[in-house]
């Protein structure tokens, strides 16, 4: 396993298991098996709706002696409905209770999107819609500065509820804004990135600011096809360039794409519920790509973003809410 430096002393495993869209019924066993295989980085979120089951899997792994708490990196995320300062700590504490942990390694602002508050006892996780049962259900945006949210994030780190805090789906401009007032700097940025969305300027900026970079959806379109947010023809894993490099190394296309992500200095968090794929995704540290291969993969960049609130919020939730230009 390789690691990425976080802040002054943190070590973020460069490959993790993404838990988005992992079915609740299978999550405990998948998480326990993944930890047994050697995964030490779990990427969770309130909005994924499976933190309680993920917590069961973590406890199974501890009970079976697969790893200790100090060996495991667990990330969770603050959902959009909890951006007001008074809601940040209760939201984190709810994730801790569900995950059955005393602290997180990393807590991220999930999106730079502030939505109307939904109490836990009314609906949890609250999702995007303010009132799904209304005649015209839609998401309801409310004004809340990122500064207010960030300062509350700093408070939960000071309280020892999380080792590090960070941001997700933020642009360079928003990161600059956070840095202008942050008493505790964001330790990690998590964004969509894959060979069709390379984001070289954002990565370079994070490197210069010593903000670790985690790529979600590192394999591209796969998770978005069933949601109608991508087409089968968008698959990076079927790209002739990737297939050719995979043949050269006698590796799978997924291993090539993940190796590219790790070798460029990012952490990657592919999602899979298939044990064979979980093992395959983890087996990327015994080969390297040449500089020419790295550059060739980077040249595939289409600036193709699959997870874009400026598109899906309007189509699915009745509210136009762009966060990218």
Active site residues: 48
Q: What are the start-end ranges of the H helices in 115-249?
A: 146-158, 172-181, 200-208, 240-249
Sign for the CA dihedral angle at 149, 154, 156, 161 comes to positive
Give residue for tokens 């602290």. Answer: 103
Those residues with Cβ within 8 angstroms of residue 170's Cβ, 6 or more apart along the chain or in another chain: 109, 112, 178, 189, 191
What whole-number distance in Å separates Cα of residue 170 and Cα of residue 298? 21
Cα 243 from Cα 254, distance rounded (Å): 10
Token representation of residue 166 = 């960070």
DSSP SS3 for 81: helix
CB atoms inside a 10 Å sphere around CB 296: 17
Distance, in Å, from the CA atom of 103 to the CA atom of 249, rounded to the nearest integer, reads 40
Distance CA 250, CA 33 (A): 26
The distance from CA 107 to its chain's CA centroid, rounded to whole angstroms, is 11
Contact (CB, 8 A) for 246 and 259: no
Q: Residues 186-212, buried b or exposed e (16+ Cβ, 10 A)?
A: bbbbbbbbbbbbbbeebbebbeeeebb
């Amino acid at each position: 396993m390789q690691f990425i430096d976080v802040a002054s002393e943190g070590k973020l495993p460069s490959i993790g298991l993404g838990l988005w869209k992992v079915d609740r019924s299978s999550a405990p066993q998948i998480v326990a098996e993944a930890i047994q295989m050697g995964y030490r980085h779990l990427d969770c979120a309130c909005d994924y709706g499976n933190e309680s089951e993920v917590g069961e899997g973590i406890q199974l792994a501890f009970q079976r002696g697969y790893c200790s708490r100090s060996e495991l990196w667990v990330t969770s995320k603050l959902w959009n409905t909890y951006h007001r300062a008074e809601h940040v700590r209760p939201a984190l504490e709810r994730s801790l209770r569900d995950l059955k942990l005393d602290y997180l390694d990393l807590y991220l602002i999930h999106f730079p999107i502030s939505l109307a508050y939904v109490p836990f006892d009314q609906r949890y996780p609250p999702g995007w819609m303010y009132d799904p049962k209304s005649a015209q259900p839609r998401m309801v945006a409310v004004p809340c500065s990122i500064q207010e949210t960030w300062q509350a994030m700093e408070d939960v780190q000071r309280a020892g509820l999380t080792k590090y805090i960070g941001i997700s789906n933020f642009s360079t401009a928003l990161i600059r804004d956070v840095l202008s007032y942050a008493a505790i700097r964001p330790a990690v940025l998590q964004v969509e990135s894959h060979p069709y969305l390379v984001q070289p300027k954002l990565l370079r900026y994070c490197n210069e600011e010593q903000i670790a970079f985690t790529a979600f959806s590192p394999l591209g379109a796969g998770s978005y096809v069933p949601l109608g947010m991508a087409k089968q023809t968008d698959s990076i894993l079927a790209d002739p360039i990737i297939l050719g490099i995979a043949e050269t190394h006698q590796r799978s296309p997924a291993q090539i794409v993940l190796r590219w992500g790790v070798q460029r200095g990012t952490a990657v968090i592919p999602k899979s519920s298939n044990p064979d794929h979980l093992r395959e995704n983890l087996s990327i540290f015994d080969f390297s790509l040449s500089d020419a291969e790295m550059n060739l993969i980077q040249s595939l960049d289409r600036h193709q973003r699959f997870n874009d609130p400026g598109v899906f919020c309007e189509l699915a939730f009745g509210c136009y809410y762009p966060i990218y230009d």
